[in-house]
Amino acid sequence: MFLNYFALGVLIFVFLVIFYGIIAIHDIPYLIAKKRNHPHADAIHTAGWVSLFTLHVI
């Protein structure tokens, strides 16, 4: 019984790490643009979120 709960905990942990990892990867271009004082940093940030929600169709 313990292994069932342990496996469920590992599964939830892996899902959360992948979920937050994908969000962090999509935020990298904005962080680079912000660091370099890019004039369109806000547009880059918005484009990152749009591409995340449309699953890279754009």
pLDDT value for 55: 78
12 burial type by CB count under 10 A (0-12 exposed, 13-18 middle, 19+ buried): exposed
pLDDT value for 38: 96
* Average pLDDT score over residue span 44-56: 87
Half-sphere exposure (CA, 13 Å, Cβ side) for 18? 6
Domain ranges in the chain? 25-58
At 10-35, the pLDDT tens digits run: 999 999 999 999 999 999 999 999 99
Residues 24 and 48 sit within 8 Å (Cβ to Cβ): no
